[in-house]
Amino acid sequence: MSSTEKAGLSRRSALCGLLVALAVPGGLAACGGGEPTPTGGAGATDTPTAGSTGNGTTGAAVIAALADVPDGGGLVAGNPATSKPLVLVRTGETVKAYDATCPHQGVAVAPPENGTITCPAHGSQFSAADGSLAKGPATRGLTEVAVRVEGDQVFLA
């Protein structure tokens, strides 16, 4: 038994506390085993309001600057909540995001070109408008990930 466990603090609790302290999105999901947190308590997700922290968000993770996502096109960026990449697609001020992992064999897709997102490994193609499958060998489309544009930044929603 470790000294932290003797003091009544399990290894899991210590790691969860560290994740919370570092404000890792989704960190509480790995903790489990405890009592549910009441609404508004630690770990609760609040809806961002104007006038909250400097950029108008409450701990939301920035994915990219809006200016970095070409209008009428897109880019592949890291997802700060997971280690999986996202493909961002922009039309004017609207940005959609999809998990950039091709469902065929897990290869990261390329940024959209001419309205099509293509997997470089085996040529699967997906619609940039909605992530739907346009051409296999993949058997399903890309999974949409909720994002929002706030000011000049794209955030996980």
* pLDDT digits 0-9 by tens, 69-117: 999 999 999 988 888 899 999 999 899 999 999 999 999 999 999 999 9
* Residue 62 C-beta-side C-alpha neighbours within 13 Å: 11
pLDDT in tens, 9-33: 444 444 444 333 343 333 333 333 3
Q: Is pLDDT of 42 > 80?
A: no
Please give the backbone phi and psi of residue 68, each rounded to the nearest 5 degrees, phi first. Answer: -80, -15
Q: What pTM, to 2 d.p., does this model score?
A: 0.62
Q: What is the 3-state composition of the chain as percent helix, strand, coil, each rounded to the nearest 5?
A: 15, 30, 55
- Tracing tokens 């408008």 back to the chain, one arrives at 129
d(C-alpha 107, C-alpha 119), whole Å: 7
Per domain, the residue ranges of the chain are 1-43, 62-156
> So what's the architecture of 62-156 in CATH?
3-layer Sandwich (2.102)
pLDDT > 90: percent of the chain: 54
Cα(107)–Cα(118) distance, rounded to whole angstroms? 11
